[in-house]
Amino acid sequence: MTGFGEGLFNPTDAVINWARKNSLWPFFFGLSCCFVEEATAWGPRYDIARFGSEVFRGSPRQADVLIVSGTMFQKIAPVALRLYEQMSDPKWVISMGSCSNSGGMYDVYSVVQGSDQILPIDVYIPGCPPRPEAVFEGLMLLQKKIAAGEKPTRPVLHLPGGSQGGREDFLVDGATKCRDTRGPGYAGIPIRGTAATEPRFAGSRAEVMWTPPVPGLVLTAGQETLAADLAAVFGDDARLTDTVPTPGDMPTYVVAPARLPEVLAYLKEKAPTRFERLEDLTALDETARRVPAGHEATVVYTLTSMSAATMVRLTCPLPSRDSSLPTATGVWSCANWYEREAAEMFGLRFDGHPDPRRLLTHRDWIGHPLRKDYEGRATSRPAFTRADCERLEPVDAAEILGRRAAAGDYLLNFGPHHYATHGIIRYVLAMRGERVKAMGIDIGYHHRGVEKIGERQTWHQFIPYTDRVDYLSGIANNLSYVTAVEQLAGIAVPPRAAYARVMLSELFRLSNHLMYFGTFLQDLGMMSPIFYALREREMVLDIIETITGGRLHPAWLRLGGLAADLPEGWKEQVDAFVKIFPGRLKEYHAGVTRNPIVRARTKGVGGISGATAIDWGITGPNLRAAGVAWDRRKAMPYGAYADFDFDVPTREHGDCYDRYLVRMDEMAQSLRIIEQAAARMPGGRYLSDDARYCLPQKDATLRDIESLIHHFVNVTRGPRLPAGMAYAATEAPRGEQGYCVVSDGGCHAYRMRIRTPGFANVQALPLMIEGLSIADCVAVLASYDYILPDIDR
Amino acid sequence: MDMLLGVVVMLVKMAVVLGVALGLAAYMILLERKLLGRFQVRYGPNRVGYFGLLQPLADGLKMLLKEDIIPDGVDRRIFLVAPAVVAGTALAAFAVVPFGDGLTLFGHRVPQVVVDSNVGLLLVLALSSLAVYGLALGAWTSDNKYSLLGGIRGAAQMISYELALGLSLVPVVMHARSLSLSDIVAAQAGLPFALLEPVAFVIFIIGSLAETKRVPFDLPEAENELQAGFHTEYSGMRFALFFVGEYVNMVLLGAVTAIFFLGGWHGPFLPPIVWLALKVLAVPVFLIWTRASLPRLRYDQLMALGWKVLIPLALLNILVTGALLAAGV
């Protein structure tokens, strides 16, 4: 005999299931790129509200479904588990995107290879990232699962038996799941590429292939003067490098570690050419060089002179990877995070550093991930389990604030997961009432180890990873990377490709700034602009989709050109958009810019001076809002930008209002560039004919065998680039994004360093926020426009 | 016999008022979601039942059956009671709200109000003051930092704006010469007070926006700042009570605005109950509209607006009204 509610069909079950499936309120939880597409499902074109699921809940207590959208990092996994546990029953979990499903393309030390190792997943949505339509598919699958599979009557009545709330078990590697990328049973087949050695193929001719040397550098008059001056002041302690080949992108000096701060200070304040900004600071592990370097590690300082629009590189050879050298924080305060990162990634020590803690990895991390002998693949390391999650509880707030935490402070954890953090980053605010007295930042929750991955992917294979470094700027990321590699190998880009690159980068700038416009106002409490912004953003994405076939991550640039020619019909679409958009921009200004509350909330809030901004390495619209008219597209033009007519919008105060206005103006300027590019798009090749490094055009591979062979070789083994080093930065939507590619003459990078705008920008946040109220803090964060993988990489 | 009939009539009235208020609140949520959809160039709920009409039912049933979490470290009794205070006070205030002149049933005159109190206006204000306790205590006892911040904001905001709200009603009382809501409506048979006392009307609307914690005054639950604010730790039906309380409050606000300023059920051509319904709905729709179009004020700006603008203005308005009345204009 069966008890109440245990029969095959029970009307009570049906009613309860009906209510639950039609009222699935998602928890506001986003990890990375996928969340953008998840949030787009709220937008006008898709409108998840139709399903009654638009009620995002900020508190896990009130939510029904957790959509794990994005990469599950080891550092965030304990947080995700805790939030899941805080949700009230019944609760369901949807895993969205390849990363959450299996680790996806991020088979790397910091990423959990599947969130099902930690959480019970009910529905998997495939894709990288899945489109908003796929979010609906996942939601409807979950609805079906609830309606068909659950018998909630007995649990509701607190009787034993029945079922509700989906799965409850998590998976265990080796027992209930297989993390091996080759699939179960294929353990005997080698995985291509490891961290320390490049993929070697039996009898590969890449080893004996001749490549022309990297283009050398001819010093300009200013650079000659500087070299002479440095030689006079520092003698042999700061000399132009004599290694062969010499980097062709900028003068490179070898500096003795002991005199480093002195040289830096000299370059910043006294030299004939002043270098105002510390562009980047990173290190190299030299132990795996084909030709031994004679030392184990090199620290690299890249400086930019904004007055002379030139750059210089200082290298500091160290005898051992455990060596120490003096800190540069005395010269540039922003060296702080850079040095912490170099220290934890390579094991170096910086004497006199004010805060020598780990930066990106969690506190209990063992090893230095960017050392050549460190195993980079997660699948070659022990699985990250639920037990690890419980062991790695987040560190205490006072610890993050460090010495500045006083007894009796009201410490507020703002993140790692919060509406206003725009991703997973943790701020600790020491509050007095509503006022923020001190602010501490803990980053690394979104550390995807992409620099390590760069050391195992071939030059072309790495392009899709660049899309995801700033996941709202797609092709603008591709551009920074290919520009650096083309600089290294001396590849010329045909004009059609150069123009198309500019046009697409600007389209992405527009799409990014539209998202900014929406989220910024959302954080001021204005809920509608985001929907209008998403409507326009869809138009931009439609163009991008027509041209590239992708939305967020097109991976459409190639070394020397594009993946394909511009398709039929692209111009009509661009022209239509160029006609419509100025009117929409006017609407925005009418509805928002002139709103008195918007002005009251943003004017004079969180300002920063131009000089401070430069000193802290702040770049992009945030710098220009502070009155510094510096835009790499104008100051140091790259690609085809020199051919275009556009202005560099600036403002004075660097406060929230100015940061907002600069971006609004930039949208108008981007539109001008797009219009010009579309009107003057040259004909001709879309890929360089430099067959040594570049892919042949597709139609050629269908006609002649030589092209087909080149295509095959350059796709599978990848081109072999000359040994050398090149840095190239572009004006990405959020600021200056630079790639420092180091080649050892292999088919992939020896070191892939990414200088991101977010890293420098966010480090300076406490300057703007301390002393403001919590509402202002949110306004500053929202007006600042950072993105997490751009900070943590 | 009369007394028995009186009790029956009273019970019926209570049931009707309660039912209408709760039903309106539930569908107010749907209306808000639909309207927000339209304001934001999208549809809003339309899958559950025809035109999405069953959406509130699904949401309500789901909430009712969701786990009710009581976190460790909370003061259990207060934590459990707080949401009921918010919803309860809002519902109780409907007792003094009249819905018409009165009916004649079986030769008896039945007033269309649960209690026609001669201090109705004070009761409404008093009950809305009590609601602060639900919010502040619920937040305080949740043992959560975000709740606490929300609770402090809520308490400060509601106490401040209550003053402006109360003061804005003084001219109404001066004109009507009564605190009974029925009398106030009767006094507007000619001209609604909104036209007679536009300043008081504006202050009242702003004050009540703040009382209902709606944009631009939604600081206590400002999600972008405080995640879910004062109700962060509440789940299931207790959270739903806060939620329902907010929407009952919106309806209540519509009702009292209609009665204090818009002339109640008075109006040409249409039957009185239709006029009342239209006026009662006008305010929530206005609230939804503001939510769709305005950003949120900052805490100090909110306080400055309340103390430095609204309260002095309300006081001045009382003086002017008094002077005009004394002068016999």
Regions in chain A scoring below 70 on pLDDT: 1-9, 181, 183-184, 187-205, 244, 405
SS (H, E, C) A247-299: CCCCCEEEECHHHHHHHHHHHHHCCCCCCCEEEEEEEEECCCCCCCCCCCEEE
Distance CA A21, CA A146 (A): 6
Whole-Å CA distances, A698 to A209, A368, A687, A714, B99: 24, 42, 10, 13, 77
Distance CA A453, CA A436 (A): 38
Residues B292, A528: C-beta atoms closer than 8 Å: yes
Residue A624, pLDDT score: 92
CA distance B73 to chain A (A): 15
Structure tokens at A285: 């592990």
SS (H, E, C) A732-776: ECCEEEEEEEEECCCCECCEEEEECHHHHHHHCHHHHHCCCEHHH
Ligand-binding site membership of A747 (annotated): no
Residue A8, pLDDT score: 62
CA distance B58 to chain A (A): 4
**Overall average pLDDT of the B115-141 stretch:** 84
Q: Which CATH number fits domain A10-156: 3.40.50.12280, 3.30.365.10, 3.30.420.40, 3.30.499.10?
A: 3.40.50.12280
Is the minimum CB–CB distance between A258 and chain B shorter than 8 Å? no
Is the minimum CB–CB distance between A62 and chain B shorter than 8 Å? yes
Structure tokens at B245: 């309380």
For A184-217, what is each residue's pLDDT tens digit?
677 666 665 544 445 555 556 677 777 787 777 8
Strand ranges of the sheet holding A435-442, from the earlier edge strand across to the other edge: A410-414, A426-432, A435-442
Instruction: Decide: A375 and A195 in contact? Cβ < 8 Å.
Output: yes
CA distance B197 to chain A (A): 26
Reported CATH class of domain A450-792 = mainly alpha
Residue ranges of A 193-222 with Cβ closer than 8 A to chain B: none
Ligand-binding site membership of A334 (annotated): no
Residues B216, A601: C-beta atoms closer than 8 Å: no
Residues A419, B233: C-beta atoms closer than 8 Å: no
Residues B294, A62: C-beta atoms closer than 8 Å: no
CA distance B294 to chain A (A): 5
Residues A773, B299: C-beta atoms closer than 8 Å: yes
Give backbone dihedrals phi and psi of A708, rounded to 5 degrees, phi first: -60, -40
- Contact partners, residue A193, CB within 8 Å, separation at least 6: A199, A456, A457, A748
Residues B62, A152: C-beta atoms closer than 8 Å: no
Residues A88, B236: C-beta atoms closer than 8 Å: yes
Residue A195, pLDDT score: 41
DSSP B231: G
The residue ranges of every structural domain in chain A are 10-156, 221-368, 450-792
Residues A22, B58: C-beta atoms closer than 8 Å: yes
Residues A775, B57: C-beta atoms closer than 8 Å: no
B42-46, B101-105, B144-148: least confident range: B101-105
DSSP A458: B
CA distance B256 to chain A (A): 27
Which chain B residues touch A92 with a CB distance below 8 Å?
none
Residues B227, A600: C-beta atoms closer than 8 Å: no
Taking Cα atoms as reference points, which of B166, B187, B192 lies closest to residue B317?
B166
For B269-294, what is each residue's pLDDT tens digit?
877 778 888 888 888 898 889 888 88
Which chain B residues touch A527 with a CB distance below 8 Å?
36, 40, 215, 291-292
Residue A142, pLDDT score: 93
Q: Which of A40, A59, A157 has the highest number of chain B CBs within 10 A, making it the mutation to test binding with B?
A: A59
Distance CA A790, CA A759 (A): 7
Which chain A residues touch B153 with a CB distance below 8 Å?
434
Residue ranges of A 431-470 with Cβ closer than 8 A to chain B: 434
Q: How many CB pairs under 8 A join A and B?
A: 180
pTM of the shown model: 0.89
Which among A62, A531, A595 is the nearest to B42, CB-wise?
Answer: A531
Which among A47, A601, A776 is the nearest to B295, CB-wise?
Answer: A601
Residue ranges of A 568-597 with Cβ closer than 8 A to chain B: 591, 595, 597
For A396-429, what is each residue's pLDDT tens digit?
888 888 777 677 778 888 878 888 888 889 999 8
Which chain B residues touch A62 with a CB distance below 8 Å?
228, 231, 234-235, 239
CA distance B312 to chain A (A): 21
Residue A302, pLDDT score: 92
Residues B225, A152: C-beta atoms closer than 8 Å: no
Distance CA B20, CA B151 (A): 30
For B183-207, what is each residue's pLDDT tens digit?
888 888 778 887 788 888 999 988 8
How far the first Cα of chain B sits from its last, in Å, is 50
Taking Cα atoms as reference points, which of A117, A89, A114, A118 lies closest to residue A103?
A114
Mean pLDDT across chain B: 84
Taking Cα atoms as reference points, which of B293, B281, B295 lies closest to residue B31?
B281
Which chain A residues touch B233 with a CB distance below 8 Å?
59, 61
Residue A690, pLDDT score: 85
Distance CA B271, CA A54 (A): 38
Ligand-binding site membership of A178 (annotated): no
A612 by Cβ neighbours in 10 Å (0-12 / 13-18 / 19+) ranks as middle
Distance CA A553, CA A722 (A): 28
Ligand-binding site membership of A33 (annotated): yes
Reported CATH class of domain A221-368 = alpha beta
Residues B65, A20: C-beta atoms closer than 8 Å: yes
Whole-Å CA distances, A202 to A208, A455, A746: 13, 20, 15
Residues A61, B234: C-beta atoms closer than 8 Å: yes
What sign does the CA torsion over A498, A502, A508, A511 have?
Answer: negative
Is the minimum CB–CB distance between A418 and chain B shorter than 8 Å? yes
